[in-house]
Structure 1
Amino acid sequence: MTVATRPGGRRAHARTDATGAASTALRRMLESPRRPARVLAAFPSGIYLEVRTELEPHVVALVTESATRLPNSMVVTGTMPQVAVGDEAHVGDGSIEVGRLSLRARRWWNPAPVLGPVDPVRLAAALPAMTELCDRSARRPGLEGNGAADLLSEGCAQASLVRGVMAAEQLVGLGPGLTPSGDDMLAGLLVALRHLGAAAGVPRAVWLAGWLAAAVTFDARGRTTPISATLLHCAARGEASGEVLAVLRGLAGRQALDPALHRLLRLGHTSGADLAWGLRIGLAAVVSLGGGAG
């Protein structure tokens, strides 16, 4: 702990210096000049800061080790500072200052690791397994039965930009909460198309991911919540939480799928199920576009 003092030796305030493990998605923001920010939301396991900048991600998450490691987060060891929504903060010049805490990145982690080559036959076999696990789960997507979700699935399987973009436009910001269900589904889809498409050698899936990403991130700040807009920008670059990345590894045969999918489905009220639904649509599209639907 460092103690700041005024001239004359009078105590001004104490600031706690700490370090954390930061997503590489935050590197540009942290290395940029110091900017003002404000506390957007505060929970025991995480604090969300909205930075006054045009850079993405413009929302930075500070999370505990037990919380979901979001792609725009720094994982902090120890107790979160006591702050309230609207409190001032600062981000940049190598640190994050919020409350009496001054954080610096001690190490970095990659929210978009390369999956590596995957046999399309393996992905085709993983699709019914994932479908069965999702259908059996008591955790249901927030937009189950929504027509736009069905249109999105059909459009992606056919690499139809018209259908895909039309459905995506309807889903952005749809649903309640800090991360609406429509956004979570789209985030899962974008990550699946990009990573699985690249791993299985299906360029049309990666091409589709690029176009859909452009559609859902255009003016995202004006169409959904600040936190969700940031996560859509992250997903557009293939960046995802640890739980989502674990499911991708499970689909690729790098680890067991069942426990990874169960961990994802337990996230939030419907967020995990919404993300899983998006991953499932993306997986089905990669299999279809790669010629493995039959």
Structure 2
Amino acid sequence: MPDPALSSSTLPPGRVAGAGGAALRDLLAGPVRVGTVLHSGREAVYVRVDERVVGVVARGAVHVPSAIATMLTALPEAAVGAPVPVGDGVVALPGLSVGVDRIVATDAPALPDPAAAGERLALADPDLAVVRRQLPEAALDALAAGDPAAVPALVGRGDGLTPVGDDVLSGWLVATRAAGRDPRAVADAVRAQAHRTTSLSATLLADAAAGASIPPFRRLLLALGSGHEVAAAVAGLRAVGHTSGAGMLLGALLALHPSVLSSPATPLEGSPR
């Protein structure tokens, strides 16, 4: 059933209602800046503005914290590199203006018992081989220990708008915060290395460092906290993208159940031996 809060019947022509996080709404409330289209497709358009990326996504696309979700089945064409005004409450795509009319939660829900949550995730036994074989075991071991030396070996590692190494880091950052632990050492290293990845992924990493995540990851944390429907939440996140959901799952495992990595690994270059 369509969300009545996202009805555009009372909006000006060309203005479409959208849903997003409070931080994104506040970002759009500022003065108009001219961004450029970074990625364009029928389901998602991403615009680089200043040092961040903001997006508009169609119904059914993954709703990342930096994007506005709409009820549209497809988005209008927008040429990569085209100028797009962003501000005064909206992202003004060609023929389409979108704002945040409904606030949705993007923050990481706190885990009441992180150890139990980790056990539940490990017992779900998600198949993460497709991720693990793409990444250095030494870097994964270091991340499991909260060692920022893991970051240079993971940031930007893999193909796509969100490389798999970044997905692992995002999952770790959000799950660590949800567990009530301090992710700042790794988050600081991520910020220092963000120039090595895509603009969109750098934005998503910054959001993850602040505790923001996609809805399937929030559902996973809620399931792990309550112990209910864990398998369904794992499957839902695992289905995101080709490797994105699996990468986030691995990051969550490294944060909540570090012993998931049992194979010995060679120390990372520059890390204590």
TM interval, shorter chain, is 0.7 to 0.9
Q: Where in structure 2 are the equivalents of 1:103-142 lying within 5 Å?
A: 103-115=98-110, 118-120=112-114, 122-130=116-124, 132=125, 134-135=126-127, 140-141=130-131
What corresponds to 2:267 in structure 1?
none
Coordinate RMSD, CA, aligned:
2.3
- Asked if structure 2 preserves the Cα contact closer than 8 Å seen for 1:122 and 1:253, the reply is no
Residues 1:188 and 2:164 are matched in the alignment: no
Is 1:171 aligned with 2:154? yes
Q: Is 2:180 the counterpart of 1:214? A: no
Determine if the alignment matches structure 1 residue 147 to structure 2 residue 142.
no
Aligned residues: 249
Residue from 246, 263, 268 that aligns with 2:219: 246
Distance 2:101 2:176 in 1: 32
TM-score, length-scaled by structure 1: 0.78
CA distance in 1, matches of 2:240, 2:19: 21
| SS class of match (2:81) | coil
Q: 2:80 aligns with which of 77, 85, 91?
A: 85
TM-score by length of 2: 0.84
Tell me which moved more, 32-41 or 263-272: 263-272
Cα distance in 2 between the residues matched to 1:145 and 1:34: 40
Amino acid at match of 2:158: G
AA of the residue aligned to 2:170:
A
| Alpha-carbon separation, structure 1, partners of 2:172 and 2:13 | 42
Structure 1 residue 147: deviation in Å? Answer: 2.6
Residue 72 (structure 1) aligned with residue 60 (structure 2): no
Does residue 96 in structure 1 map to residue 86 in structure 2? no
Q: Percent identity?
A: 33
1:36 aligned counterpart, secondary structure:
strand
Q: Deviations over 1:175-234 (max 9, x none)?
A: 111111110100000001001x22xxxxxxx22x111111101251x2110010000000
Secondary structure of residue in 1 paired with 2:77: coil
Structure 2 alignment gaps of length 5 or more: 1-7, 261-273
- Is the Cα–Cα contact under 8 Å of residues 19 and 105 in structure 1 kept in the other structure? yes
- Cα distance in 1 for partners of 2:118, 2:132 equals 26
Matched residue, 1:258: 231
Amino acid at match of 2:160: G
Q: Which amino acid aligns with 2:95?
A: R
Separation in 1 of the partners of 2:88 and 2:245? 34
Q: Structure 1, residues 242-268: CA drift from partner, whole Å, max 9, x if none? A: 011111112112641111111111111
- Partner in structure 2 of residue 40 of structure 1: 38
TM-aligned CA deviation for residue 120 of structure 1: 4.4
Question: For residue 244 of structure 2, what is the aligned residue in structure 1?
Answer: 271
Amino acid at match of 2:189: A
Confirm or deny: 8 A CA contact 2:131 2:247 kept in the other structure: yes
Task: Describe the SS at the equivalent of 1:243.
Answer: helix
CA contact (8 A) 1:69 1:75 kept: yes
CA distance in 2, matches of 1:225, 1:190: 18
Decide whether the 8 Å contact of 2:155 with 2:190 is kept in 1.
Answer: yes
Bigger radius of gyration? 1
Contact 2:114 2:256 in 1 (8 A): no
The whole-number CA distance in structure 1 between the counterparts of 2:217 and 2:61 is: 14
Instruction: Summarize the Cα distance change of 1:142–1:61 in structure 2 as closer, same or farther, 3 Å threshold.
Output: farther
